[in-house]
């Protein structure tokens, strides 16, 4: 699914003569930006109790899992679906900025 989301970006970058490293870095930047936006939105929905449980997680992996689970419960949509929405927006905005 992500490959389809990024296809317009890949096509654009290849047409511009971008190297494989530049393409990989751009895709990583888009993914990171979308993920950060998703996390920001998720954290804004959490109660103090939710935040305390996340902060008390013994490691980042468990904390991330708790964030995903709690956010999915609150909005009724799995984080993967929300990330896809954010990625689509980032790809659209990237292409609009470049054209």
pLDDT at residue 84 in the model: 86
CA-derived radius of gyration, the chain: 16
pLDDT at 4: 87
pTM, entire model: 0.72
Q: How far apart are CA 12 and CA 53, in angstroms?
A: 43
List per-residue pLDDT tens for the chain, 99 residues long: 567 889 999 999 999 999 999 999 999 998 888 888 888 888 888 999 999 999 999 999 998 888 888 888 888 888 788 778 888 888 898 889 887
């Amino acid at each position: 699914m992500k490959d389809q989301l990024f296809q317009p970006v890949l096509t654009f970058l290849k047409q511009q003569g971008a190297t494989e490293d530049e393409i990989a870095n751009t895709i990583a930047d888009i993914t990171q930006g979308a993920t950060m936006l998703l996390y920001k939105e998720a954290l804004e929905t959490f109660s103090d109790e939710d935040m305390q449980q996340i902060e008390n997680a013994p490691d980042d992996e468990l904390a991330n899992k708790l964030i995903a689970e709690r956010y999915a419960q609150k909005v009724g949509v799995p984080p993967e679906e929300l990330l896809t929405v954010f990625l689509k927006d980032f790809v659209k905005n990237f292409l609009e900025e470049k054209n």
